[in-house]
Amino acid sequence: MKIRHIAFSTLVLFVLMTTAGYTDSALAGAQNTVVASYYAHKFHGRTMANGKSFNMHAMTVAHKTLPFGTKLRLTNPKNGRVVVVTVTDRGPFTKGRTLDVSLAAAQKLGFVKAGVARLRMERQ
């Protein structure tokens, strides 16, 4: 019984930690400036956190806590380009970054050469 209680407590703590600060209402209609990078060839075909294979040609994004399936509108303020992506994976795991977008999204947003960009992010 004690082990079951510890396991349940651990699960509750995990859920609270992974969703802290990113509730649905926190992003609804709000614009946030975030730092994004992209991932591509090395991860193409590998299994993502949602259980599906990563496709670098799809309009997807990795975020640490937003629910899978969340649609985000990303805007590159330097060139005005806009894309809509779907959260399908967890990451990035580099300090100071909020998003890892797919190669396709990075190309449409125009930051492949730079590798990293400041983007405006809003929930769709």
The pLDDT tens digits of the residues spanning 30-76 come to: 669 999 999 999 999 999 999 999 999 999 999 999 999 999 999 99
| Burial class (CB within 10 angstroms; exposed 0-12, middle 13-18, buried 19+) of 56 | buried
**CA dist., res. 24 & res. 97, Å (int):** 20
Residue 44 CB contacts under 8 Å (≥ 6 apart), including other chains: 54, 55, 56
pLDDT of residue 118: 98
The pLDDT tens digits of the residues spanning 83-93 come to: 999 999 999 99
What is the DSSP-derived secondary structure letter of residue 79?
A: T
pLDDT of residue 1: 53
Q: What is the mean pLDDT of the chain?
A: 85
Under the banding of pLDDT at 50, 70 and 90, the label for residue 15 is very low
pLDDT of residue 90: 98
Decide: 105 and 60 in contact? Cβ < 8 Å: yes
The average pLDDT across 3-23 equals: 44
Q: Does domain 2-123 have CATH number 2.40.40.10?
A: yes
Whether omega for the bond prior to residue 92 falls within 30 degrees of 0, making it cis, is yes
Q: Where are the beta strands (DSSP E) in the chain?
A: 31-39, 60-63, 71-75, 82-89, 99-102, 116-123
What are the extents of the domains in the chain?
Answer: 2-123
pLDDT of residue 33: 95
